[in-house]
């Protein structure tokens, strides 16, 4: 098991964490704060909440994204239908 300090020691201290709905990234942000990182943020509601709220999505550098991949059909229900990338 790796400590989060080792994993994030090369990252900028102001990086923020996000995941699909926010539970995993919230745990990671809490662990990083516990290990002494002082500029830790978690995107409330994570990427699904952001997409559902309507702000722009960023894809590759300089490109807008239109869809979010829901991972599988059980997670797809957390995204508005028009935002769901196709499941392969």
pTM above 0.75, yes or no: no
Closest CA to 83 of 15, 7, 64: 64
Q: pLDDT band for position 15 (50/70/90)?
A: low
Q: What is the mean pLDDT of residues 12-37?
A: 76
Those residues with Cβ within 8 angstroms of residue 66's Cβ, 6 or more apart along the chain or in another chain: 57, 83
Classified as helix, coil or strand, 10 is: coil
Q: What's the full length of the chain, in residues? A: 88
3-state helix, strand, coil in the chain (%, to 5): 35, 10, 50
87 token code pair? 């499941």
pLDDT at 32 over 70: yes
Q: What's the whole-number average pLDDT of the chain?
A: 80
């Amino acid at each position: 098991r790796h400590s989060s300090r080792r994993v994030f020691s090369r990252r900028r201290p102001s990086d923020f964490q996000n995941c699909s709905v926010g539970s995993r990234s919230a745990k990671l942000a809490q662990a990083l704060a516990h290990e002494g990182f002082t500029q830790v943020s978690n995107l409330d509601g994570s990427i699904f909440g952001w997409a559902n709220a309507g702000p722009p999505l960023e894809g590759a550098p300089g490109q807008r994204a239109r869809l979010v991949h829901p991972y599988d059909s059980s997670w797809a229900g957390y995204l508005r239908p028009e935002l769901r990338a196709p499941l392969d």
